[in-house]
Amino acid sequence: MKRYVLLLLLFMSSISIAQEDLTRILFVFDASNSMNQKWGSESRFITAKRILSNAVDSLSGVPDLELALRVYGHQSPVTATYQDCADTKLEVPFSKNNHQAILNKMKAIRAKGTTPIARSLEAAAGDFPDNKSKNIIILITDGVEACDDEPCVIADKLRAKGIKISPFVIGLGLDMSYLSQFDCFGDYKSAESPRAFENVLSQIVNKALVNTTVQINLNTIYGTPKETDVAMYLYESGTNNVKYTFIHTLNERNLPDTLILDPKVKYDLVVKTLPEQRKDNITIQKNTHNTIELDTPQGELKVNFDRPTNNNYIDVRVMQHGETKTLNTQKFDESQKYIVGKYDVELLTLPRRYKTVEVEQSATTEIVIDAPGTIKFRGAKPVVGQIFERKANNQYEWVCDLNPNSTRNEFVLLPGDYQVVYRKKHHRSTTYSETKSFSIYSNKSIIINL
């Protein structure tokens, strides 16, 4: 059974510095029968035609740029007994201002044939008038090679002719291990929607025109770029003008993903870790691959009770060590990442508990305390009173007040020894004050009649 994948392959000339400013982009478009399958609300063919047509239209008027269009699978229908592996044709050759010709051709073609990827790529190498410009091929297809030739074999032939291949492969609903066969081309990416494909196509076209790329390394304490999955804001340096917002991503090779940033702008980078980290006045060098390094070593903090309990809805307040400002409030039994270092933790239990902990690289620091119990106060009439925890040397520390407007009070308290001091609300004499001592045990509930 044939399996399908949406491929977006970028082939660039091996000449590191073009002899002219001219850029030539050849779009190689798949019009095989498999493109008629549904992809969201439309067929792959209709969606891909629309996205490619929009990209071509957006390039109209760009100086020092020529486009061309090669199509395969559009001339001979594929049948159960026949497929035309020579079905590939340069439909619109390179020339200036031929955007409309490409758009017209895109409207006319229909998907019906087979998928001769390798032969199309081999033929595409001869579609460029010369090698004095920056020559780029973008192949858009949803199928694996259907003919005898192997794309990787063709890749070797193209390299022998001086064409360096650096692909971007987008897999749709496919086991990613299958994409490893495209390592002979270069990088690959995955996408699950037309929108994702549109974004990648835009990125690649921008890369072709600008030839400036950026990766942001969020480093561990060991200097390795393995921290990820956190929001990044790129501001125009020295201003509050946000230019880009991303969630940091590691690609399929577990390396920071490549970005396209405007090299004319200086940037301030803010990474939304806890606490946030930043790097200011960043310059992007043109026509090269830039690496931005930022130390964001992280570990995790988790607070648990020592045994299962129904009262695990308590919050935890986290502050940087020595500071009073709340950095974050997290729940019991939930892990949260923090920058490596020392933190003060206030457990919003009754009574409060306070800890100072050290968060370590790629480790989980766990705080474990005794599970709470429940105290229920009952009375014939409302009472005014307070609960205290008994400390050493007969010192009593306030925990909470009773509700003076209710005959019933219930509290979740940590295990320990307590005392309630109270009097009936309607009594107007201090001599009616009373005290009762009690102890709380994990997961136990007691009732005290006032």
- Roughly how many angstroms between the first and final C-alpha of the chain, as a whole number? 78
Q: From CA 133, how far away is CA 140, in angstroms rounded?
A: 22
Q: Which pLDDT belongs to residue 151?
A: 67
Q: From CA 437, how far away is CA 358, in angstroms rounded?
A: 37
Q: From CA 402, how far away is CA 405, in angstroms rounded?
A: 9
Q: From CA 156, how far away is CA 258, in angstroms rounded?
A: 25
- In angstroms and rounded to an integer, the radius of gyration of the C-alpha atoms of the chain is 33
Q: Among 295, 310, 341, give the residue marking a domain's end.
A: 295
- DSSP, residue by residue, 289-345: EEEEEEE--EEEEEEEESS--S----EEEEEETT--S--EEEETT--EEEESEEEEE
Residue type, 154: I
Encode 83-121: b = buried (16+ Cβ within 10 Å), e = exposed: bbbebbebbbbbeeebbebbbebbeebebbbbbbbbbbb
Residues 187 and 114 in one domain: yes
Q: From CA 53, how far away is CA 100, in angstroms rounded?
A: 10
CATH at 338: 2.60.40.1120
Among residues 220, 214, 339, which one has the least CA distance to residue 265? 214
Residues 50 and 156 in one domain: yes
Residue type, 277: Q
Q: From CA 264, how far away is CA 359, in angstroms rounded?
A: 39
Q: Which pLDDT belongs to residue 330?
A: 95
CATH at 72: 3.40.50.410
User: Which helix H or strand E contains 210, and what residues bound it?
Assistant: helix 194-210
Q: Among 173, 193, 210, give the residue marking a domain's end.
A: 210
Q: Which two structure tokens, joined as six digits, stand for 133?
A: 């410009």
**H runs (alpha helix) in 138-193:** 151-160
Residues 26 and 168 in one domain: yes
Q: Which pLDDT belongs to residue 404?
A: 95
Q: From CA 192, how far away is CA 170, in angstroms rounded?
A: 8
Residues 440 and 403 in one domain: yes
Q: Among 210, 241, 262, give the residue marking a domain's end.
A: 210
Q: Which pLDDT belongs to residue 60?
A: 86
For residue 303, give its domain range.
298-369
Among residues 256, 272, 257, which one has the least CA distance to residue 219? 256
Residues in the chain: 450
Among residues 266, 260, 267, which one has the least CA distance to residue 287? 260
Q: What are phi and psi of 78, to 5 degrees?
A: -85, 140
Residues 235 and 267 sit within 8 Å (Cβ to Cβ): yes
Residues 42 and 129 in one domain: yes
Q: From CA 413, how far away is CA 374, in angstroms rounded?
A: 6
Residues 223 and 285 in one domain: yes
- DSSP, residue by residue, 4-54: EEEEEEEEEES-SS-SSS-EEEEEEEE-BGGGGSEETTEEHHHHHHHHHHH
Residues 204 and 77 in one domain: yes
Q: From CA 333, how far away is CA 315, in angstroms rounded?
A: 10
* Long-range contacts, 208-211 (Cβ 8 Å, 24+): 208/10, 208/12, 208/23, 208/25, 208/134, 208/136, 208/138, 209/23, 209/62, 209/65, 210/260, 210/263, 210/286, 211/134, 211/286, 211/287
Residues 115 and 128 in one domain: yes
Q: Which two structure tokens, joined as six digits, stand for 338?
A: 């923090």
Residues 103 and 180 in one domain: yes
Residues 318 and 340 in one domain: yes
The neighbouring-strand residues paired with 135 are 24
Number of domains in the chain: 4
- Residuewise pLDDT in 10s, the chain (450 residues): 444 444 444 444 333 334 357 888 899 898 988 888 887 888 888 988 888 898 899 888 888 899 999 999 999 898 888 888 899 999 999 999 999 999 999 999 999 999 888 888 888 878 888 877 888 888 887 767 778 666 677 777 666 766 655 445 554 444 444 445 555 655 565 556 677 778 777 777 877 776 678 999 999 999 999 999 999 999 999 999 999 999 999 987 899 988 888 888 999 999 999 999 999 999 999 878 899 999 999 999 999 999 999 887 889 999 999 999 999 999 998 999 999 999 999 999 999 999 999 999 999 999 999 999 999 999 999 999 999 999 998 899 999 999 999 999 999 999 999 999 999 999 999 999 999 999 999 999 999 999
Residues 341 and 318 sit within 8 Å (Cβ to Cβ): no
Residues 139 and 278 in one domain: no
